[in-house]
Amino acid sequence: MKLKLAILGSGKGSNCKAILEAIDEGRLDAEVVLVMADNPDAGILRLAKKYGVDTEVIPECRFRTKLDETVETKVAERIRKSEADLVVLAGYMRMVKSPMLKAFPGRIINIHPSLLPKFKGLEAWRQALEAGEKMTGCTVHYVDAGMDTGSVIARQEVPILDGDTPESLHARIQIAEHSLYPKTLANLAGKLMQGENEPGRKKS
Ligand code: GRF
């Protein structure tokens, strides 16, 4: 059985692309069953359509940093309907709140452009550069109620080079993300699917 993924994003979707490519190339035994975005113009939606994946636009909300509770409840229902095993945040720019956390406990993951627990929050690459670090990277982690505080699943280091600008560093981190996210998902797929196939264990 393949791991079914629902991907949530807000932007261009380069991580989503890396995941879809890994699936196409046989490096990741999974299926993307749904892509949702909170911005109707997000590149991630065009990309998903190109790959023949179902897409859905999340309706506008009052706050920029989170969804309205009623909207997030509907998002969780839509993901449940898709029968996704795992919710994958890929450039999703809002906090995940209790409707999603309750619906998918331990089943929401994110990729963040720093070596967590260092440099949580926005523009983490710029934070690392301004702090004078020599090394940063990216982290795949479980999502909890905090901002970038959930337990770490995997990290990949990226050096900060003399003369780096925020843009050059971010680009180098993204290359690492595109390798780390599919690899980490492949590991998780193995573990989760083994769990699902254990005798007596039913999908919740
Ligand atoms: C990535 O840098 C990721 O770390 C952060 O948002 C960015 C998403 O980029 N959470 P993309 O939409 O996958 O290109």
* 112 classed as catalytic: yes
Which of 13-17, 60-64, 76-80, 129-133 is predicted with the least confidence, judged by mean pLDDT?
60-64
Residue nearest to atom 9 of ligand 1 (CA): 91
| pLDDT band for position 202 (cuts 50, 70, 90) | very low
Q: Residues near ligand 1 with C-beta < 6 Å?
A: 9, 11-15, 90-91, 111-113, 174, 177
Cα of 91 from ligand 1 centre, angstroms = 4
Segment 195-204 shows an average pLDDT of 52
Could you identify the atom of ligand 1 that is nearest to the CA of residue 138?
4
DSSP β-ladder status, 3-9 and 30-37: parallel
Q: 164 and 126 in contact (C-beta within 8 Å)?
A: no
CA dist., res. 184 & res. 153, Å (int): 8
Residue 191: the pLDDT is: 86
Cα of 112 from ligand 1 centre, angstroms = 7
* pLDDT of 75 above 70: yes
| pLDDT band for position 203 (cuts 50, 70, 90) | very low
Q: What percent of the chain has pLDDT over 70?
A: 95
Segment 138-145 shows an average pLDDT of 98
Q: Which amino acid is at 136?
A: T
CA dist., res. 122 & res. 101, Å (int): 21
Average pLDDT of the residues of the chain: 95
155-196 per-position pLDDT tens digit? 999 999 999 999 999 999 999 999 999 999 999 998 888 776
The Cα diameter of the chain in Å comes to: 57
Segment 117-125 shows an average pLDDT of 97
Cα of 174 from ligand 1 centre, angstroms = 7
Cα of 70 from ligand 1 centre, angstroms = 26
pTM for this entry: 0.94
Residue 190: the pLDDT is: 85
Q: Cis bond leading into 59, ω under 30°? A: no
Residue 199: the pLDDT is: 52
Could you identify the atom of ligand 1 that is nearest to the CA of residue 170?
2
| pLDDT band for position 201 (cuts 50, 70, 90) | very low
Q: Which of the listed residues 7, 14, 15 should we mutate to test ligand 1's pocket, taking the one with most ligand atoms within 8 A of CB? A: 15
| pLDDT band for position 197 (cuts 50, 70, 90) | low
